[in-house]
Amino acid sequence: MRKVKMAQPAPAAALRRTGRFSIARSRETRVALLFVAPAAIGFLTFTLVPAIRGFYYSFTDYNMFQPAQGVGLANYRKLVADPIFWNSLRVTLEYVVINIGIQTVVALGIAMLMHRLTKSMLVRGIILAPYLVANVIVALVWFWILDYQIGIGNQMLAALGIHRLAFFGDGALAIPTIALINVWRYMGYTALLLFAGLQMIPKDVYEAAALDGASEWKTFWRVTMPLLRPVLSLVLIVSIVGSFQTFDTVAVTTKGGPVNATRVIYFYIYDLAFNRYQFGYAATISVALFVILAGVTLIQLRMTRANQSDLS
């Protein structure tokens, strides 16, 4: 593969100097445009134009039934003074920190275990299973397992002599519960990504470390982690951005409650637009989310130098 990539397309270079070139070139362009056209139409209609419209709506008062009315920066002023928005941001952050913190550690543990013990497809298949089913399904199963009265989770707590917990009904527990449910869904998938990263670390680095008498603990921190860093930071960026956009689990379990305890930002936007018909304001919060995510990505890229590897 690599050898061939380096070979230059000689005939094309030869063509370039002849008159036939322009004819061949224009035919190539026509075919290319034909190939790109459907995707480009899809991109324009359902991504680019809506993105611009979304930005425009953020400066309007729009209830979806009457035409949008321009209101300048009013929505943005409202956003700055909206306690529910700031609360939703805080709740989302709490969710992201718990979710990503635990998920990354657990996934790294699973990846290390698999790297050490087995490449079995069965193990990898099982570990991936939760990721394959819908968020909605995962949410419902755990909603049932953690049911206050007859869920098996609370039955176990009761059997252990601990009092039952209202996992979804207690404002202090609801976000950690939802965060952990999604740890369960994504830990295997994240582990497989990290596992693939571990497999890329050359064996001789470990042999050198073993020869030097480095303990496993030391090898992990001095060899594995630095070499895994590019993969780890890429995984972190993708999972943090995804985590900020959590919606499904909240939508089928707590619906933002109790009070506003689980009103994550995505759910707040949905609620504003489709239950309260404040479409313009919902668009404003979407812009804010967009800015936040772009900021998070940039900061992370800076901090982790994701594009650089210590290998080489």
Partner 1 sequence: MTNTSPVPTATARPAQEPVRPGLSIIMLDKKRRVRRRISKTLSWTVLVVLLLVTLFPFYWMLRTSFSTNGDLAANSGSLLPAHFSVNGWKRVLGLSTAKEALADGGSGASLDFRLYLRNSLVVATLTTVVQTSFSALAAYAFARLRWPGRDAIFFLFLTALMVPPIFTMLPNFILIRDLGLLNSYLGIVLPNLLMAPFSVFFLRQFFLGIPRELEEASRLDGAGYIRTFFSVILPISNAPITTLAILTYITSWNDYFWPLLVGKSESVRVLTVALGVFRSQTPQGSPDWAGLMAATLISALPIFILFAAMGRRVINSIGFSGLK
- Chain positions 128 to 187 lying near partner 1, rule: CB under 8 A, are 128-130, 132-138, 140-145, 147, 149-152, 155, 159, 184
Print the SS3 string covering 61-78: ECCCCCCCEECCCHHHHH
- Among residues 175 and 186, whose Cβ is nearest to partner 1? 186
Is 124 among the residues that bind partner 1 (CB under 8 A)? Answer: yes
> Minimal distance in Å, beta carbon 43 to partner 1?
6
Phi and psi angles of residue 130, each rounded to the nearest 5 degrees, phi first:
-60, -30
* Tokens representing residue 108 in the block: 């790294």
User: Going by DSSP bridges, is the β-strand pair 69-70/60-61 parallel, antiparallel, or unpaired?
Assistant: antiparallel
Closest CA to 108 of 183, 214, 23: 183
Q: Can you point out the beta strands (E) in 69-210? A: 69-70
> Minimal distance in Å, beta carbon 20 to partner 1?
13
Is 39 among the residues that bind partner 1 (CB under 8 A)? Answer: yes
> Minimal distance in Å, beta carbon 71 to partner 1?
17
Closest CA to 82 of 258, 246, 288, 262: 288
> Minimal distance in Å, beta carbon 229 to partner 1?
12
> Minimal distance in Å, beta carbon 171 to partner 1?
21
Which of 91, 96, 100, 110: binder of partner 1 (CB under 8 A)? 110
* Tokens representing residue 172 in the block: 């202090």
- Among residues 69 and 172, whose Cβ is nearest to partner 1? 69
Is 222 among the residues that bind partner 1 (CB under 8 A)? Answer: yes
> Minimal distance in Å, beta carbon 19 to partner 1?
17
What CA–CA distance (Å, rounded) separates 45 from 26? Answer: 27
- Among residues 12 and 172, whose Cβ is nearest to partner 1? 12
Is 45 among the residues that bind partner 1 (CB under 8 A)? Answer: yes
What CA–CA distance (Å, rounded) separates 12 from 85? Answer: 57
Number of residues that bind partner 1 (CB under 8 A): 113
Q: What residues between 49 and 78 interact with partner 1 by CB under 8 A? A: 49-51, 53-54, 57, 64
Which of 18, 35, 69, 84: binder of partner 1 (CB under 8 A)? 35
Is 203 among the residues that bind partner 1 (CB under 8 A)? Answer: no
Which of 287, 301, 304, 309: binder of partner 1 (CB under 8 A)? 287
Closest CA to 54 of 271, 297, 269: 269
Print the SS3 string covering 151-184: CHHHHHHHHCCCCCCCCCCCHHHHHHHHHHHHHH
209 neighbors 281 (Cβ within 8 angstroms): no
What CA–CA distance (Å, rounded) separates 143 from 148? Answer: 9
Q: Pick the stretch among 21-29, 79-87, 171-179, 256-264 that binds partner 1 (CB under 8 A).
A: 21-29
Q: How many CB atoms lie within 10 A of CB 168?
A: 20
- Among residues 80 and 225, whose Cβ is nearest to partner 1? 225
